[in-house]
Chains A and B, each alone.
Chain A
Amino acid sequence: MAHYALPFEKPVAELERKLDELRHLTNKQNVDVAHEIARMEQKIAETRKEIYAKLTPWQTVQVARHPLRPYALDYIRDMATDFVELHGDRIHRDDRAIFGGLAKLDGQRVLIIGTQKGRDTKSNLECNFGCAYPEGYRKALRLMKLAAKFRLPIVTLIDTPGAYPGIESEERHIAEAIALNLREMFTFPVPIVVTIIGEGGSGGALGIGIGDRVLILQNAYYSVISPEGCAAILWKNRAYADRAAAALKITARDLLQMKLADEIVAEPLGGAHADPKLMAQTLKQSILANLRDLQTYTPEHLLKLRYEKFRVMGVFEERQKAVASAGP
């Protein structure tokens, strides 16, 4: 079980500490407290259920950023076989914030691409905290073209705070790298299933986020701007991130309701990090079910539906201009 507790998980952490004490007591003094332990375990489960049943949007963001949450490569490990990683954009560098490769999901061949965060300082420096440079998006494009050529379905796993805002990013044209992916992803005649597994950080997420199906994990979020960034603009104070998170409507439930996501993938009780193996199995089944459905369409039909899916996104009012009518 997770030993890193978010602020709102404190009641659970406290109960877990007591449970540890009980167990310790059993071992040391051979006192039979099995009944007590069972009662405590149940209470922990209930408390966790209660907390997770009513997470605020800001708490959801914290779960999505939980340091123990499974990252893209954890899913590859737990749900894929025969993974062959394919490196580099063949131009500049192998960006470790975006990885890609060939993989099988229950025997189904796919090309899989994901954004990757680090678990510690060393790995975070390597993958730049999950913030890709242009070469990351260009690697993704290169691999997706490969998938299109050999008719491999594309699976993307998104977990990024955003594309990297740096001097070199601009010099190597991060805007172009993302824009090109957006346009080209509408032309690949193979099924594309996108999943937001943690953070869906703006253009950096969308850069590998065009698909026939957009899935989102129950406690993931997807937003045009980080809650902190939004708070800094609106209230001039990043501490108002909780208000911004609520105002921006970024949770899985909000996005499903607004038809910006197609499906919510349920997380184990207590979040994906509570049981990464179960999470990976659930996600794999969701991806495979969607791929099976998408494979019944012709490539032409698939592209048409993909276009129409994004075409209708956006709410506005259209005022009919007063036109002089010749009628009665």
Chain B
Amino acid sequence: MALFGKKKLTTVKVRKREMPDGLWIKCPGCDEMLFKQELEAALNVCTKCGHHFQLPRMARIALYADEGSFVEWDAGLVSVDTLGFTGTSSYVAKIKENQAKTGCDDAITCGRILLAGRPAALGVMDFEFLGASMGAVVGEKVTRLIERGTAEKLPVIVSCASGGARMYEGLFSLMQMAKTSAALARHAEAKLPYITVLTHPTTAGVMASYATLGDVIVAEPGALIGFAGPRVIKETTQQELPEGFQRAEFLLKHGLLDTIVARKDLKPTLATVLDFLQPAPAVA
């Protein structure tokens, strides 16, 4: 389940090397050298080949929210080392390290936005924070987001990314899948729209709960999306994985996604979809 371990962190580091603080970045999609400022102006999408780099948390919020409309909810929730987890380093140290790295408390930021004038409850997961693994804080914030969305009759949008459950919180982390899904059952019962955006990568426990329960599920091009990690599947089955396995395009072909949308088109697409998914009028 948990895919966010050392191996994953290594890939994060590799990706960081692709994006040094220098002026130029080499695109893994087309090997072109890209001018960093230009890349950022293009929402971290390669202007040559369309490769989608990860988008930092605040830029991601700005991608969906009308300027100045974001009001944060449930800030100040912090992870606790409830198991007293001792591995090669302590969980507390990991949390501190990731808080220092990202300047954020945990792997998700939630709030209310206007999306092209339409009010919505938004959650944005950040892979930079411990691989956006889901512990009690992520689970609680997603649950509160959905509950408040239900109470205020708002559409809920979750921009997903995750390496899986947060192993350091043991079975508590698994139970966040239950908790968030329970809240979605009530949101669905209220006939309110729920949309998920799957970004690179969205896997494991998050994928097997709220990421997959969207009324409409949108993915970014090239995003790795799945339950088990490709390495685990390869080791278990001793099979070669098919070309493009677990990429957004593969999932679309197999009928597991509604649509793939390029980053620059996400906001207008969500706005259009929201216009169709109106809450049913209350019966008088």
Chain A residues within CB distance 8 Å of chain B: 162-167, 169-171, 173-176, 178-180, 182-184, 186-187, 202-203, 206-207, 209-210, 222-225, 229-230, 232-236, 243-244, 247-250, 255, 258, 260, 306-307, 310-311, 313-321
Cβ distance B1 to chain A, nearest Cβ, rounded Å: 4
Q: Is B208 an interface residue (CB 8 A)?
A: yes
CB-nearest residue of chain B relative to A162? B1
CB-nearest residue of chain A relative to B246? A170
Q: Is B182 an interface residue (CB 8 A)?
A: yes
Cβ distance A28 to chain B, nearest Cβ, rounded Å: 51
Residues of A within 8 A of B140 (CB): 314, 316
Residue from the list A310, A318, A319 in contact with B175, Cβ < 8 A = A310
CB-nearest residue of chain A relative to B242? A167
**Are the C-beta atoms of B182 and A234 separated by less than 8 Å?**
no
Residues of B within 8 A of A179 (CB): 177, 181, 207-213
Q: How many angstroms between the C-alpha atoms of A248 and B79 in the bound complex?
A: 16
Given contacts A203-B1, A229-B2, A314-B179, contact A258 B172 (CB under 8 A): yes
Given contacts A179-B210, A233-B2, contact A255 B239 (CB under 8 A): no
Cβ distance A134 to chain B, nearest Cβ, rounded Å: 9
Residues of B within 8 A of A184 (CB): 185
**Are the C-beta atoms of B87 and A234 separated by less than 8 Å?**
yes
**Are the C-beta atoms of A203 and B213 separated by less than 8 Å?**
no
Cβ distance B47 to chain A, nearest Cβ, rounded Å: 32
Enumerate 15 A-B pairs (CB-CB under 8 Å) in ascending A order: A165-B236, A170-B233, A182-B181, A202-B174, A203-B174, A206-B177, A223-B174, A224-B170, A225-B2, A230-B167, A310-B182, A311-B182, A313-B172, A314-B136, A318-B78
Q: How many angstroms between the C-alpha atoms of A170 and B233 in the bound complex?
A: 10
Cβ distance B152 to chain A, nearest Cβ, rounded Å: 18
Q: How many angstroms between the C-alpha atoms of A181 and B75 in the bound complex?
A: 30
Cβ distance B227 to chain A, nearest Cβ, rounded Å: 4
**Are the C-beta atoms of A169 and B228 separated by less than 8 Å?**
yes
Q: Is B35 an interface residue (CB 8 A)?
A: no
Q: Is B190 an interface residue (CB 8 A)?
A: no
**Are the C-beta atoms of A166 and B80 separated by less than 8 Å?**
no
Q: Enumerate B130-180 residues with CB–CB distance to A below 8 Å.
A: 135-137, 139-140, 143, 165, 167, 169-179
Q: How many angstroms between the C-alpha atoms of A224 and B2 in the bound complex?
A: 8
Q: How many angstroms between the C-alpha atoms of A257 and B77 in the bound complex?
A: 24
CB-nearest residue of chain B relative to A174? B227
Residues of B within 8 A of A173 (CB): 212, 254, 256
Given contacts A165-B236, A316-B78, contact A183 B181 (CB under 8 A): yes
Residues of B within 8 A of A319 (CB): 76-78
Q: How many angstroms between the C-alpha atoms of A186 and B232 in the bound complex?
A: 30
Cβ distance A196 to chain B, nearest Cβ, rounded Å: 11
**Are the C-beta atoms of A165 and B175 separated by less than 8 Å?**
no
Given contacts A234-B88, A317-B80, contact A175 B208 (CB under 8 A): yes
Q: How many angstroms between the C-alpha atoms of A83 and B77 in the bound complex?
A: 48
Residues of A within 8 A of B205 (CB): 202-203, 224
Q: Is B83 an interface residue (CB 8 A)?
A: yes
Q: How many angstroms between the C-alpha atoms of A44 and B6 in the bound complex?
A: 45
Residues of B within 8 A of A236 (CB): 6
**Are the C-beta atoms of B233 and A182 separated by less than 8 Å?**
no
Q: How many angstroms between the C-alpha atoms of A173 and B174 in the bound complex?
A: 19
Residue from the list A175, A206, A235 in contact with B87, Cβ < 8 A = A235
Q: Enumerate B58-85 residues with CB–CB distance to A below 8 Å.
A: 75-80, 82-83, 85
**Are the C-beta atoms of A233 and B167 separated by less than 8 Å?**
yes
Q: B215-249 toward A: CB 8 Å interface, digit per residue (1/0)?
A: 00000000000111100110011010110011000
**Are the C-beta atoms of A167 and B237 separated by less than 8 Å?**
yes
Residue from the list B76, B87, B165, B178 in contact with A182, Cβ < 8 A = B178
Given contacts A162-B1, A203-B177, A233-B2, contact A187 B87 (CB under 8 A): no
**Are the C-beta atoms of B175 and A249 separated by less than 8 Å?**
no
**Are the C-beta atoms of B182 and A183 separated by less than 8 Å?**
yes
Residues of A within 8 A of B229 (CB): 165
Q: How many angstroms between the C-alpha atoms of A158 and B24 in the bound complex?
A: 53
Residue from the list B2, B171, B239 in contact with A258, Cβ < 8 A = B171
**Are the C-beta atoms of B228 and A234 separated by less than 8 Å?**
no
Q: Is B11 an interface residue (CB 8 A)?
A: no
Q: Is B28 an interface residue (CB 8 A)?
A: no
Q: Is B7 an interface residue (CB 8 A)?
A: yes
CB-nearest residue of chain B relative to A163? B227
**Are the C-beta atoms of A183 and B184 separated by less than 8 Å?**
yes
Residues of B within 8 A of A248 (CB): 83, 167, 170-171
Known: A167-B245, A182-B177, A203-B205. 12 other contacts (CB 8 A): A163-B227, A165-B229, A170-B228, A176-B208, A203-B174, A203-B204, A203-B227, A206-B174, A225-B167, A234-B87, A314-B137, A314-B140
CB-nearest residue of chain A relative to B9? A233
**Are the C-beta atoms of B256 and A176 separated by less than 8 Å?**
yes
Q: Is B20 an interface residue (CB 8 A)?
A: no
**Are the C-beta atoms of B185 and A318 separated by less than 8 Å?**
no
CB-nearest residue of chain A relative to B81? A315
Q: How many angstroms between the C-alpha atoms of A310 and B78 in the bound complex?
A: 20
**Are the C-beta atoms of A247 and B185 separated by less than 8 Å?**
no
Q: How many angstroms between the C-alpha atoms of A232 and B229 in the bound complex?
A: 14
Q: How many angstroms between the C-alpha atoms of A183 and B226 in the bound complex?
A: 19
Cβ distance B27 to chain A, nearest Cβ, rounded Å: 27
